[in-house]
Structure 1
């Protein structure tokens, strides 16, 4: 059966309910797409937790960066992935190990294997979609968002 992303209504529900978003592959370089998208999501009131072994221990967007999902000391609801497709199955396994609810592969990233792993562990999977674009389209109500957003 071919993969199908959740409906926009389901994506809106996910974004309304998400607490912590771990961003795997979040760069500390401000000109990178991962940094810009994570920053935009943070400005909309989402808690962003950077995951990047090359930047572990550093601050990115004011948050401590961790080497792996397993190193994050708090629950993660959504794992947003900025890694090439061939690495996504391992990320899906890691997301399953920490009981994440959603695996989100950014625009241009598709991995049927990662989707199968995530589905096996009860996760919702979104692939080849930009979380910032989807958030802008659905505009969920964020109770902790800064005023004016």
Structure 2
């Protein structure tokens, strides 16, 4: 599990592409605001939501594994209820097996679960627990 501020800063600094599981097309949802916030800071945000076709000019995918394996994903930001977090980690594990990539799993506040953490640890997937990616960006990176 990743908790060190220096490590979090390095993750945010080095990332270019973020897949956001649970990204909402509804402008009143936090995940929608987070996607726009991150895009404005130079990240490519790929929405993963079977209910949406396109969010902020990015095609939305039904599942993480529907994204082309030619796309390098640095962070998978999980914006779903904690009861779905283990499934999200399993999706990242499947992505890793399919692509050889090992993106950081970043769970938003109150999204992590014990099962999700155990799966990430078992498969040696980097895992950020219960931290808002926008708050951490602002706190650690400011307006770089």
Q: Same fold (TM over 0.5)?
A: yes
C-alpha RMSD of the superposition? 1.6
Indicate the residue corresponding to 2:25 in structure 1. 28
1:90-101 equivalences under 5 Å are: 90-99=87-96, 100-101=102-103
Q: How many residues align?
A: 137
Indicate the residue corresponding to 1:134 in structure 2. 136
For the pair 1:40 / 2:42, whether they are aligned, the reply is no
For the pair 1:63 / 2:65, whether they are aligned, the reply is no
Structure 2: state its 5+ residue gaps: 97-101
Which secondary structure does the structure 2 equivalent of 1:108 belong to?
coil
Indicate the residue corresponding to 2:99 in structure 1. none
Structure 1: state its 5+ residue gaps: 141-147
**How far, CA to CA, are the matches of 1:24 and 1:46 in structure 2?**
15
Indicate the residue corresponding to 1:114 in structure 2. 116
**How far, CA to CA, are the matches of 1:103 and 1:87 in structure 2?**
13
Indicate the residue corresponding to 2:74 in structure 1. 77
**How far, CA to CA, are the matches of 1:119 and 1:61 in structure 2?**
33
**How far, CA to CA, are the matches of 1:23 and 1:130 in structure 2?**
12
Q: Is the 8 A contact 1:81 1:105 kept in 2?
A: yes
**How far, CA to CA, are the matches of 2:109 and 2:18 in structure 1?**
17
| TM-score where L is the length of structure 1 | 0.86
- The Cα of 1:5 is off from its aligned counterpart by 4.2
Name segments (4+ residues, structure 1) moved above 4 Å: none
| TM-score where L is the length of structure 2 | 0.89
**How far, CA to CA, are the matches of 2:57 and 2:72 in structure 1?**
18
- Deviation per CA, 1:66-108: give whole Å up to 9, x if none: 0000001123221101111111111101011112421111012
**How far, CA to CA, are the matches of 1:119 and 1:78 in structure 2?**
16
